[in-house]
Amino acid sequence: MCVKINQLQPKIYFSPFHNLTHRLFRDTFCQHFSGIDAFISPFMPVGEAVTLSTARFKDILPKSEKTPLIPQLIGCKSNELADSVHFLLQLGFERINWNLGCPMPQIIRKKRGAGLLPFPELIENAVNEILTRSPNARLSLKMRLGLQDATESLKIIERLNQYPLDFIAIHARLGVQRYEGSVDIEAFTNCFRISKNTVFYNGDINTVADFEQISTLFPTMKAVLLGRGLLKNPLLAEEIKQKNLQIGNKKVRIYNFFNDLATQYQQKSTPTGCLNRLKELIIYLSTSLEFSPQKLTNLLRINSLEEFKREIENCKI
């Protein structure tokens, strides 16, 4: 399926979800839906040069994905980040993203993800070491407005204005909010205005109207990141890019995607692992499939993979 792209609109990047938007998901998604300009991979831990091997990056190798993929790294040590970026460049990747936004407590405690945001000097030191070691790397950051305070992002952006970054994607929430509460458009606007690097928006784009609101507020924005909005409605990118697109029977297409992905999971995972991943995904898809809260609760209580698949199949009738 080919979707005509309006070049005046921001591009759409699929924001990563750890343990969900891995290669099997990405490949299957692209077989059923379109409109995505690039995926950012779920984060992969950095390491010193002597510890790096292709096994660490198995989710992105072999390098064969048709939709552009930007590998994402997570870590806090500048030497390990520089070594890992250099290793990925040798594998043929040009664009590499550094995660400064993960809000999970176990990540923050290790001063990774959003846990690094209160330390702008450490972030600058790492960027400097990465780009000194690999000046041709197209390094980008995915971050929050801050961990506790939105002024944290302003301090980081001011420090990084001297470095040629690919882009800075900002989820317009604080790390302590995780995914709760409202996005802070005013704080994001402050970041957008002072940055000399390209800034992308991330956060609560769940409908075409949400996308159009951000596009109107920031008419020069080159791309936005969609995450939960695409998990809830996998056709969202198509709906955005071609408003009069005949998308066919939406529910049928989503069911076909889900069943195809379930088959792929069964071939690569244990029944328990497959069931857990399918349950996580159905929580999001239940919005478009119009499951009642009770129906979703009943599905999530099922402990048998075969019974779960039968119940999903019954929902199609």
Q: What are phi and psi of 45, to 5 degrees?
A: -70, 145
Checking if the pLDDT of 1 tops 60, the result is no
Instruction: Report the pLDDT value the prediction gives residue 245, as an integer from 0 to 100.
Output: 63
The total of other beta-carbon atoms located within 10 Å of residue 231's CB is 24
| pLDDT, tens digit (0-9, with 9 covering 90-100), for 85-135 | 999 999 999 999 999 999 999 999 999 999 999 999 999 999 999 999 999
- What's the token pair of residue 82? 């520089």
Checking if the pLDDT of 48 tops 80, the result is yes
Q: Any residues with CB less than 8 A from the CB of 76 and at least 6 apart, and which?
A: 110, 111, 112, 115, 116, 122, 126
Range of the domain at 261: 250-315
Checking if the pLDDT of 305 tops 90, the result is yes
% pLDDT > 90, the chain: 90
Q: 105 and 175, same structural domain?
A: yes
Residue 159 lies in a domain: yes
Residue 6 lies in a domain: no
Count of CA atoms in the C-beta half-sphere (13 A) of 127:
27
Mean pLDDT value of segment 229-237: 96
| pTM for the whole structure | 0.93
Q: 41 and 146, same structural domain?
A: yes
Instruction: Report the pLDDT value the prediction gives residue 7, as an integer from 0 to 100.
Output: 45
Q: 180 and 229, same structural domain?
A: yes
DSSP secondary structure code for residue 10 in this structure: P
Last residue of a domain, one of 241, 270, 295: 241
Instruction: Report the pLDDT value the prediction gives residue 9, as an integer from 0 to 100.
Output: 83
Confidence band for 2, pLDDT divided at 50, 70 and 90: very low
Domain CATH code at residue 175: 3.20.20.70
Give the whole-angstrom CA distance, residue 115 versus residue 104: 9
Instruction: Report the pLDDT value the prediction gives residue 3, as an integer from 0 to 100.
Output: 37
